Amino acid sequence: MSAIHLQNLVKKFGDFTALKTMDLAIADGEFMALLGPSGCGKSTTMNMIAGMEEPTGGKILFGERDMAGVPMGRRGVGFVFQNYAIFTHMTVRQNLAYGPKMRGAAKAEIDRRVGAIAETLQLSPLLDRKADRLSVNILQRVAIGRSAIMEPAIFLLDEPLSNVDAAFRAVMRTELKQLQRQFRQTMVYVTHDQLEAMTMADRIAVMDHGVLQQVGTPLEVYNDPANVFVARFIGAPGMNLLKGRPAESDRGLVVDLGPLGFTPPLPGELATAMRGARGEVLYGFRPEQATLVQNGQGLAMPVTFVERIGARTIVHLGQGEAAVKTVFDNDVGLAIGDTAVIAPTASSVRVFDAATGLAMKAG
């Protein structure tokens, strides 16, 4: 069994709480990304799963088995370090053979397993090369192979792509995803790069300040952020959030954005969810899901900046609290100083309680 259950997991370093009561269930064979800014507790969580750090409280279960007190060498966990931690004084073969050799496997057995894993990872021609002058994608494969040869049920990867240049990252992402399909292990992948999490993970656990914010598939996290943090963190740029108050109009429930006027009426389900709410709310919509309207109902805002990045154009509107960004697939011909009237796509609008930061949902 290689499912992982984290139950009320807590980690404190002195007075500093790195992780506050985390509950997370990772299914057997699942690719789970732990995503968050630096210092959010994702690496701490990973290190506790690996056994490098002891939890201050709570439980870690692999399947049914409690991992408390099980030393890291006995957890059957493969770990790929941020810089791969390849043994540079050895050859590729010696790196791959390290685990079985330390556990006293017979020479013939080691040779067979190294041969097999090298074949899978296309490392066979490189087996007798010194590991100190390999390119970074080879290093990644050696690091994965060195762990995979132990046939771990669980694979942990600690930001393995953070030292790789942007162009190569796409290649490595594809390779990594293919490897996971091949090995079918449970994978936990720590990253601060949402693109990596979105493209590779089955589910994403978004974390911030030691608190698990939301767990869901990449699209769930993108489309239905549980709170303001996730809304802002996921997406590039993140979700636009404008402060306002719910107000009744003759066309239905709207949000009164103050100087910006009323928003277009909220879709029925959202309006139901907000019934009775009278406090401040945050009106949110994705930068990609707003259209320019000529004379219709919309938010009129001054253009403050235009970024043209080839295929897309990012238009910055408004200032301070009332600033939003919109992304268009083509050059919309707006210049700084123009006034743009935008209308968010109704189905993409989300509303958050300004006091709690939580998404308002029906039911």
Partner 1 sequence: MSAVTVMTSKDEMKAAGAKPVSRDESARLGFRLTLPAQILVLFISAFPLLMQLYISVTDWSPLSGTGWWNAWSMWNSFANYTDLAVDTRFWSALKRTAIVMIVCVPAEFLLGLALATLFADDFPGKRVFYSILLMPMMVVPAVAGYMFFMLFQSGGPVNDILSALTGSPVTIAWLSDPTLALIAVMVADIWQWTPLMFLILLAGLVGVPEDQIKAATLLGANPWQRFVTIVLPKMKTIIIIALAIRVIENFKIFDTLYIMTGGGPGVATETISVYIYKLTTQDLIWGYVAAIALAILIVLSIVAVFAMKRMARAREVAA
Query: Which residues form the interface with partner 1 (CB under 8 A)?
Result: 50, 52, 72-74, 77-79, 81-83, 85-89, 98-99, 102-103, 130, 132, 146-147, 150
CB of 294 to partner 1, least distance (A): 54
Which residue, among 259, 257, 264, 241, has the nearest Cα to 324 in the 3D structure? 241
Q: Smaller CB distance to partner 1: residue 49 or 230? A: 49
- Cα 210 from Cα 39, distance rounded (Å): 8
- Least CB distance to partner 1 at residue 104 (A): 10
CB of 120 to partner 1, least distance (A): 18
| Minimum CB distance to partner 1 smaller for 129 or for 243 | 129
Q: Cα dihedral sign for 257, 263, 267, 271?
A: positive
Residue among 57 and 73 whose Cβ is closer to partner 1: 73
Please state the φ and ψ torsions of residue 8, each to the nearest 5 degrees: 45, 40
Q: C-beta of 141: minimal distance to partner 1 in Å? A: 15
DSSP of 230-256, one letter per residue?
A: HHHHSTTTT-EEEEEEEEEETTEEEEE
Tokens representing 279 are 């406090």
Please identify, using beta-carbon distances, which residue of 142 and 290 lies nearer to partner 1.
Answer: 142
Query: At closest approach, how far in Å is the CB of 329 from partner 1?
Result: 43
Least separation in angstroms between residue 99's CB and partner 1 is 4
**Distance in angstroms (rounded) separating the CA atoms of residues 231 and 227:** 6
Q: How far apart are CA 139 and CA 132, in angstroms?
A: 9
CA distance 291 to 355: 29
Tokens for 153?
A: 């049920």
- For residue 263, the Cα-to-chain-centroid distance in whole angstroms is 31
Tell me how many helices (H) and strands (E) the chain has: 9, 19
- Of 355, 320, 347, 342, which Cα lies nearest the Cα of 263? 342
Q: What's the min distance (Å) between Cβ of 73 and partner 1?
A: 4
Residue placing its CB nearer to partner 1 in the complex, 121 or 270: 121
Least distance to partner 1, CB of residue 75, Å: 8
Q: Which residue, 69 or 310, has its beta carbon nearer to partner 1?
A: 69
> Which residues lie closer than 8 Å to 93 by C-beta, 6 or more apart?
114, 118, 127, 128
Residue with Cβ nearer partner 1 (98 or 328): 98
Q: Which is nearer to partner 1, 47 or 194 (CB)?
A: 47
Distance CA 61, CA 345 (A): 43
